Amino acid sequence: MADQLERSMLEAKERDELVSIAKALGGKPAARAKKATVIDLILELAGVTTAADEAPEAADA
């Protein structure tokens, strides 16, 4: 695998291949997870992004 994972590189892959990559990184994608969700999981497991990076910030109420 490349030193740096890029979203565009992952988007070009089939969903089944992405699931295999996620499992190899120690993740457990849901059986019905969307391709984008699996990509997010892979990037998080690889340390490219964190869940906090992708979550929208809550507005102060």
Give the model's confidence band at 49: pLDDT under 50 very low, under 70 low, under 90 confident, else very high: confident
C-alpha span between 34 and 38 (Å, rounded): 6
Instruction: Provide φ and ψ at 53, rounded to 5°.
Output: -65, -35
Identity at 61, one-letter amino acid code: A
Predicted local distance difference test score (pLDDT) of residue 33: 96
Predicted local distance difference test score (pLDDT) of residue 9: 93
Q: What is the pTM of this model?
A: 0.73
Per-position DSSP letters for the chain, written without gaps between them:
--SS--HHHHHTS-HHHHHHHHHHTT----TT--HHHHHHHHHHHTTS--HHHHSPPPPP-
Predicted local distance difference test score (pLDDT) of residue 51: 62
